[in-house]
Amino acid sequence: MHKIAVIGTGYVGLVGGAGLADFGNAVVCVDQVAEKIERLRNGEIPFYEPGLSEVVERNVREGRLSFTTDLAAAVRECDVVFIAVGTPEGEGGAVDLSQVDGAARDIGRHMNGYRLIVQKSTVPVGTARRIRKIIEENMTGDHDFEVVSNPEFLREGSAVEDFMRPDRVVVGADSERAKETMRSIYRPLYLTRTSIVETTPETAELVKYASNAFLATKISFINEIANLCEYVGADVQTVAYTMGLDKRIGPKFLHAGAGYGGSCFPKDTKALVRIAESAGTDAKVVAATVEVNRLQKERMLAKTIEAAGGDVSGKRIGVLGLSFKPNTDDMRYAASIVLIEGLLERGASVQAFDPVAMENARSIMPAVDYLGDPYEVARGVEVLVFMTEWNEFRRLDIDRLKELMARAVVVDCRNIYRPEDFLECGFEYFGVGRGRP
């Protein structure tokens, strides 16, 4: 068993800390926000993630997981320190490393013996070396330590499963001692034959960006194909399905829609473009991916305006789904923001529902009328827009929707339904890549 401190109780830190505790380690999660720590001690999870509260509760109850604001004590008492702080998008798409730098300074000031520092946040290539330098500059004694890059690959909505049963674990380390410690920490995964990739810190740092950029590129690619389908009368659903049957391509991330959002793909793609520029080269495919995604969100707004007859001023529009994807309350870079803000700017009134994201959405878009269920949203609207593919939206009573709406018009930005499901009930249906410009 290792004594592990995890600095940061955001998405990566809390999921990772709870998961490491579930692996049998003694974990203390550290955050400087006292209110957040108090809420965690009371069993309150600060964001929506299926299954996380159960893992946290179990490990707190069994004495392996605790929470504190005392970073100094955590660093002094633990042999491994994970850095899992935020790395938000900075100016021009660059990564803001201020929280990482601050964590490194604090570790250096309070270290009292050998420590393994594990960088878990998503950071540019060279950050492990940067952390080492900052710690050395802030140490009060002559202590040995090592810095390892251990990127996370968690999908929001499936993060607990991803941590417990990952496709792979990447460890970027320079010494056998550091690698052996990481093997010990992740020992349960070795027993299940999870692929553990041991490499250099620089390679580990780049793997994260390369993986996310590739997946984002698949999304932008199929969205471009969907747009082409609308002009040539083809069906993107069949195109994507048939492409996915090729084992070299695969079916994942070939679902046409409103574009990607969330905490990773938008900032990581832009960061990779900046990393390439800083290295004196280009990432042209990734840059194009970013631009296609921006345009796709605007295209959903244009599609909705078209569905409303070319002008939304004075019209009521209903929106179902606000979070950037199902099973999360994350509104970061959500396509719904581009849609709704565009509608409001053009004089429309908007009423919306989301199963878990309305509180977060309200802080961003207070002018929206947030209602209690899909049928309340449908009442009196000129157009009903599906923006997030929550399962509960897949089996709605279409005849009831028609009775409630002012006009029977649907914009399905995630292709949740077959066009005929609505067309047969007398609706006008606008999908993505379903053969209609």
Per-residue confidence in pLDDT tens, the chain, 437 aa:
899 999 999 999 999 999 999 999 999 999 999 999 999 999 999 999 999 999 999 999 999 999 999 999 999 999 999 999 999 988 888 899 999 999 999 999 999 999 999 999 999 999 999 999 999 999 988 899 999 999 999 999 999 999 999 999 999 999 999 999 999 999 999 888 899 999 999 999 999 999 999 999 999 999 999 999 999 999 999 999 999 999 999 999 999 999 999 989 999 999 999 999 999 999 999 999 999 999 999 999 999 999 999 999 999 999 999 999 999 999 999 999 999 999 999 999 999 999 999 999 999 999 999 999 999 999 999 999 999 999 999 999 999 999 999 999 999 999 999 999 999 999 999 999 997 54
Cα three-residue angle 194-13-322, rounded to 5 degrees: 100
Active site residue 264: yes
Count of beta carbons in the 10 Å neighbourhood of residue 312? 24
Q: Please enumerate in sequence order all residues whose Cβ is within 8 A of that of 363, keeping only pairs 6 or more positions apart, or say none.
A: none
Same CATH fold, 213-430 and 3-199?
yes
Domain boundaries, the chain: 3-199, 213-430
What is the distance between the alpha carbons of residues 235 and 226, in angstroms, rounded to a whole number? 8
39 by Cβ neighbours in 10 Å (0-12 / 13-18 / 19+) ranks as: middle
Q: At 148, give phi and psi (nearest 5°).
A: -120, 140
Tokens of residue 219, six digits: 């999304």
What is the distance between the alpha carbons of residues 98 and 101, in angstroms, rounded to a whole number? 5
Task: Please tell me the predicted confidence (pLDDT) of residue 10.
Answer: 92
Look up residue 138 and give its DSSP letter. Answer: H
Give me the helices (H) in 175-261, please: 176-185, 187-191, 201-232, 236-244
With CA atoms as reference, report the closest residue to 301 among 407, 385, 389, 213. 385
Mean of per-residue pLDDT scores for the chain: 96
Query: What separation in angstroms does the CA of 319 have from each of 71, 242, 297, 428?
Result: 43, 31, 14, 16
Tokens of residue 420, six digits: 């005929």
Q: At 20, give phi and psi (nearest 5°).
A: -65, -35
How much of the chain exceeds pLDDT 90, in percent? 96
Tokens of residue 21, six digits: 């505790």
Partners of residue 411 on adjacent β-strands: 385, 430
With CA atoms as reference, report the closest residue to 151 among 7, 16, 287. 16
Task: Please tell me the predicted confidence (pLDDT) of residue 338.
Answer: 98
Task: Please tell me the predicted confidence (pLDDT) of residue 19.
Answer: 97
Is residue 251 a contact partner of residue 244, using CB atoms and an 8 Å limit?
yes
* Residues belonging to the chain: 437
DSSP β-ladder status, 316-320 and 195-199: unpaired
What is the distance between the alpha carbons of residues 26 and 18, in angstroms, rounded to a whole number? 10
Which helix (H) or strand (E) element contains residue 148?
Answer: strand 145-149
Task: Please tell me the predicted confidence (pLDDT) of residue 436.
Answer: 57
| Residue 111, CA atoms < 13 Å, CB-side half-sphere | 28
Is residue 120 a contact partner of residue 12, using CB atoms and an 8 Å limit?
yes
Task: Please tell me the predicted confidence (pLDDT) of residue 62.
Answer: 96
Predicted TM-score (pTM) above 0.85 = yes
What is the distance between the alpha carbons of residues 357 and 48, in angstroms, rounded to a whole number? 9
What is the distance between the alpha carbons of residues 31 and 37, in angstroms, rounded to a whole number? 7
Tokens of residue 352, six digits: 């919306």
Partners of residue 350 on adjacent β-strands: 317
Amino acid of residue 230: E
Topology adopted by domain 213-430:
Rossmann fold (3.40.50)
From the candidates 78, 229, 264, 413, give the one annotated as an active-site residue: 264
What are the DSSP E strand ranges found in 19-107?
Answer: 26-30, 65-68, 80-83
Q: Please enumerate in sequence order all residues whose Cβ is within 8 A of that of 377, keeping only pairs 6 or more positions apart, or say none.
A: 318, 319, 320, 351, 352, 353, 371, 384
CATH 3.40.50.720 fits 3-199, yes or no: yes
Task: Please tell me the predicted confidence (pLDDT) of residue 437.
Answer: 45
What is the distance between the alpha carbons of residues 219 and 213, in angstroms, rounded to a whole number? 10
Is residue 11 a contact partner of residue 156, using CB atoms and an 8 Å limit?
yes
Q: Please enumerate in sequence order all residues whose Cβ is within 8 A of that of 188, keeping only pairs 6 or more positions apart, or say none.
A: 23, 24
What is the distance between the alpha carbons of residues 320 and 408, in angstroms, rounded to a whole number? 15
Amino acid of residue 58: R
